[in-house]
């Protein structure tokens, strides 16, 4: 029994307990959950084992996923057909269920968020950080079939990228402001600041929409509906700045 306990504890610590087999090389028998519970005595190790089982279960269920909040969240989300995702009930982070981008990005589509591609050499790079998707292209900034068109495209990209980055930074400011107000709200003799917290939440959401509107506008500049989109975006930006 001590040997099994040490073996299972090691496998759990290494996150390799799921589908583990008997330590004897020629034996392929797998320890059952009941057997593992009977061997383990540490509540900490048991808790890690149960977390491993839960991770395995979520990975096997196509309608389940983990919250993608980069700050960390252990909430499980149900993919119930909502195309652009839904807000986590624990941390309020909105995940996208259709692509690997870490958050919902409406009005930009999933294809918009995946990557940008050079028209001449097909080099792919990330919209957010501009880093290459593969380390196979040494100098993609100098790659241009037509210099004048490339310069115009680069300027256009820089303009939209700067606006997108600004709104993301402003969104972070709104989150920081909301957190600061939340801490002040806990102090005694401070009047109700709920309306200010609500305003911060609206500000955070507006900045998020404006950031991804830049992505949407960049890819859809030549479509007929862009005049209306640009007008709505301009109006939202003006009201957001006022807020």
pTM: 0.52
Nearest-angstrom CA–CA distance, 231 and 238? 11
pLDDT tens, 43-62?
A: 888 898 888 888 888 888 87
Residue 122 and residue 223 share a domain: yes
Helices (H), 93-225: 110-114, 147-185, 194-219
**Residues linked to residue 125 through DSSP beta bridges, in sequence order:** 116, 132
What would the DSSP string read from start to end of 6-68? HHHHHHHHTT--TT---SSTT------HHHHHHH---HHHHHHHHHHHHHHHHHH-TTEEE--
Range of the domain at 70: 61-104
**Looking at residue 145, what is its pLDDT?**
42
The two tokens of residue 202 are 């609206």
What would the DSSP string read from start to end of 189-211? TPPP-HHHHHHHHHHHHHHHHHH
pLDDT of residue 129 exceeding 80, the answer is: no
Residue 86 and residue 41 share a domain: no
Residue 208 and residue 175 share a domain: yes
Residue 117 and residue 203 share a domain: yes
* φ, ψ of residue 48 in degrees (nearest 5): -65, -35
């Amino acid at each position: 029994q001590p040997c099994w306990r040490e073996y299972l504890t090691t496998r759990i610590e290494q996150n390799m307990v799921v589908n583990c087999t008997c330590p004897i090389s020629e034996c392929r028998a797998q320890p059952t959950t009941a057997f593992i519970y009977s061997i383990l005595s540490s509540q900490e190790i048991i808790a890690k084992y149960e977390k491993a089982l839960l991770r395995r279960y979520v990975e096997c269920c196509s309608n389940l996923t983990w919250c993608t909040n980069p700050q960390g969240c252990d909430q499980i989300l149900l993919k119930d057909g909502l195309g652009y995702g839904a807000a986590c009930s624990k941390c309020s982070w909105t995940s996208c269920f259709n692509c690997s981008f870490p958050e919902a990005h409406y009005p930009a589509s999933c294809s918009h968020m995946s990557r940008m591609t050079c028209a001449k050499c097909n080099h792919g790079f990330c919209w957010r950080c501009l880093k290459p998707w593969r380390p196979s292209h040494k100098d993609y900034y100098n790659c241009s079939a037509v210099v004048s068109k490339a310069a115009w495209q680069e300027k256009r990209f820089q303009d939209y990228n700067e606006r997108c980055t600004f709104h993301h930074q402003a969104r972070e400011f709104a989150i920081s402001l909301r957190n600061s107000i939340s801490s002040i709200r806990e102090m005694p003799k401070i009047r109700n600041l709920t309306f200010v917290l609500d305003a911060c939440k609206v500000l955070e959401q507006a900045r998020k929409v404006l950031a991804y509107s830049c992505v949407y506008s960049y890819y859809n500049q030549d479509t007929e509906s862009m005049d209306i989109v640009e007008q709505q975006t301009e109006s939202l930006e003006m009201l957001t700045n006022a807020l």
